[in-house]
Each structure stands twice: as structure tokens, then as C-alpha cells.
């Protein structure tokens, strides 16, 4: 029915939420265009919500749409299904769904996305947003979980997969299955960061090389293997140098602005070319500034 080209007396049936096919039904007459149908439906939705929220019940009836007033009026009630001339389909036998059949079907069904998201959030300490992204496709979720179960920190694997690896794949215009860095390589990278053997900056540099050379993370790491500075005295020397060059920031820290510690960590990382052990560096910076 195209508005403006054909006019006829059409009916719209509105089934309130929760009603079955033989339950409460409101029929609206005098809707003879798509615009009228939309307007009538919008009005009925609001009207029925108001009735239910006020504690009333939706009556099974036929109502008339008045376009000029933008509302429907009750015409007549229809209390039983036979008023609508419902009848069983004679060519379709009854379908009996037994509890055993339902259990058999349920046993063959895969884990559904919503349930999987909830489980992954609880099991891998993921954020809601990361879980949504990881379960967007079943195959993607399967690949992540296979990798996450072998990692020291599944959450770090998720972060690297969605940010570091995902960003590079998008920039290169390729899919995960064509990535030079496999998920096995990504788990290795995540474990190295988790153990403090490489810094986040070093990881980024290694991943850049992987994409530049089209090599997996493992071979690149073995060849490049950045050395971390784990000698406390060497790191302390760098910290002393940064503190001496930034008396204003030292004063701010000791005045209560503790976030300034991040400035000193960043400066030492720059001086060490990203090789200072992050955990040790943060510990020594706080010790020096508080001392």
C-alpha cells in the first residue's frame, strides 16, 4: 500500500507485550496509509503503557483511529478468540516439544554470546567493552580463548590483541589470519611484559619490526632481544640526574601532587631509551622523592 496512490480501510492488530496469539489483542481500524499506521501504533504504544503503569489491564477490543485528533477511540469489545474467527490449521499436526527433546537440543547448542561475555568477564577479568568486541564473532572469540588459557595474564593478551595488534592490522588493511604476529607470539609478548622483561615501549618497537619484516614475535624477539636495566644503582643514577634537572617538579611532588611521579618515570625512561625495568623504576622514583 503506497501512500497517496491507494486508499482502503486497513486494520492494524496491536499485541501487548506478554500476550500470546490467543490472548489480549487490540485491533485498530481506519488506518489507510503507512503514515496513519505509524501514528496509530505510536499512540497505542503510549496509551497501553499508561494503562498498565496505572495498574489497569489492556482490554481486547476494536478501536477507531482518528487522524484529525491523533488518537484512537473504542468501538466494540471482543472477549473471546472465536470473535476473531481463530481456528486451528487443519493441515498441520500438533507439535509436541517434550522436555527430553528440549534437553537434547540444548546439549547441542554452542555457548551463546551473552553467556560467553559474562563468563569471559568473570574468568579473564575483562572489561565489558573488551568482552563485547572479542565475542563479536565466534571464531574470533575461540582464537582469543585458546591463546588466553596459555597466558599468565589473559587480560593483557586481550589488551594487546585489541589495541597493539588490532591497530597495526587495521593500518595494514589485513585480517587477523594474515597477521605476521600469531596469537602464540602475542602470548609470548604479553608474558614478557607481565614478567617485567620488556617494557611497553620495547614491545611496541618489537611489534613494529614484526610488521615491517613480516615475522612473528618470537624470532624478532630472539634476534633483537632488548636488554632491560635491572641494576638498581644504574637506575638510581638516572633518577638523581632527572631530579637535579627538575627542582620545580620535585617541589610539586613533595607539596602533595603525587601524580608528578609519572613525569620522573617518563624522563628516566627517555634517558634509558626505554630499557629501565618499569616496576623497579617506579619503586625507586617513589623512594627517592619521598626520601
Domain residues of the chain, as ranges? 12-84, 114-224, 232-290
188-196: average pLDDT: 91
Q: Report whether pLDDT(2) > 50.
A: no
2-28: average pLDDT: 53
Least reliable range by pLDDT among 17-26, 36-45, 126-135, 251-260: 17-26
231-238: average pLDDT: 86
Q: Which residues contact 15 (CB under 8 A, 6 or more apart)?
A: 21, 23, 24, 25, 26
C-beta contacts of 122-126 below 8 A and 24+ residues apart? 123/154, 124/148, 124/154, 124/155, 124/158, 125/154, 125/155, 126/154, 126/155, 126/158
pLDDT for 33 equals 87
Q: Which residues contact 240 (CB under 8 A, 6 or more apart)?
A: 288
Overall fold of domain 232-290: Arc Repressor Mutant, subunit A (1.10.10)
Q: Report whether pLDDT(25) > 90.
A: no
For residues 138 and 176, give the distance between their C-alpha atoms in angstroms, rounded to a whole number: 14
CA 207 to chain centre: 25
Q: Which residues contact 213 (CB under 8 A, 6 or more apart)?
A: 180, 220
* Higher per-residue pLDDT: 20 or 157: 157
* Higher per-residue pLDDT: 9 or 35: 35
* Higher per-residue pLDDT: 5 or 272: 272
pLDDT for 281 equals 85
Whole-number average pLDDT of the chain: 86
97-106: average pLDDT: 93
* Higher per-residue pLDDT: 59 or 181: 181
pLDDT for 78 equals 62
pLDDT for 132 equals 95
pLDDT for 79 equals 57
* Higher per-residue pLDDT: 25 or 158: 158
Q: Report whether pLDDT(22) > 80.
A: no
pLDDT for 5 equals 36
Amino acid at each position: 500500500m503506497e501512500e497517496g496512490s491507494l486508499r482502503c480501510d486497513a486494520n492494524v492488530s496491536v499485541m501487548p507485550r506478554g500476550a500470546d496469539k490467543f490472548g489480549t489483542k487490540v485491533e485498530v481500524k481506519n488506518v489507510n496509509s503507512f503514515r496513519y499506521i505509524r501514528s496509530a501504533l505510536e499512540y497505542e504504544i503510549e496509551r497501553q503503557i499508561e494503562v498498565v503503569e496505572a495498574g489497569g489491564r489492556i482490554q481486547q477490543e476494536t478501536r477507531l483511529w482518528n487522524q484529525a485528533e491523533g488518537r484512537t477511540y473504542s468501538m466494540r469489545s471482543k472477549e473471546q478468540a472465536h470473535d476473531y474467527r481463530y481456528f486451528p490449521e487443519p493441515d498441520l499436526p500438533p507439535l509436541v516439544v517434550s522436555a527430553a527433546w528440549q534437553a537434547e537440543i540444548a546439549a547441542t547448542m554452542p555457548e551463546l554470546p551473552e553467556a560467553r561475555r559474562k563468563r569471559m568477564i568473570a574468568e579473564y577479568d575483562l572489561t565489558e567493552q573488551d568482552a563485547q568486541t572479542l565475542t563479536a564473532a565466534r571464531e574470533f572469540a575461540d582464537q582469543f580463548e585458546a591463546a588466553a588459557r596459555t597466558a599468565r595474564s589473559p587480560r593483557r593478551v586481550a589488551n594487546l590483541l585489541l589495541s597493539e595488534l588490532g591497530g597495526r592490522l587495521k593500518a595494514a588493511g589485513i585480517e587477523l589470519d594474515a597477521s605476521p604476529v600469531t596469537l602464540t607470539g602475542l602470548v609470548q609478548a604479553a608474558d614478557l611484559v607481565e614478567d617485567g622483561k620488556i617494557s611497553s615501549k620495547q614491545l611496541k618497537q618489537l611489534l613494529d619490526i614484526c610488521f615491517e619484516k613480516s615475522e612473528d614475535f618470537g624470532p624478532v624477539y630472539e634476534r633483537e632481544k632488548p636488554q632491560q636495566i635491572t641494576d638498581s644503582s644504574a637506575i638510581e643514577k638516572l633518577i638523581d640526574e632527572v631530579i637535579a634537572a627538575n627542582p620545580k617538579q620535585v617541589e610539586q611532588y613533595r607539596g602533595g601532587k603525587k601524580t608528578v611521579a609519572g613525569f620522573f618515570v617518563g624522563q628516566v625512561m627517555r634517558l634509558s631509551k626505554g630499557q629501565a625495568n618499569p616496576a623497579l623504576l617506579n619503586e625507586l622514583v617513589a623512594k627517592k622523592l619521598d626520601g
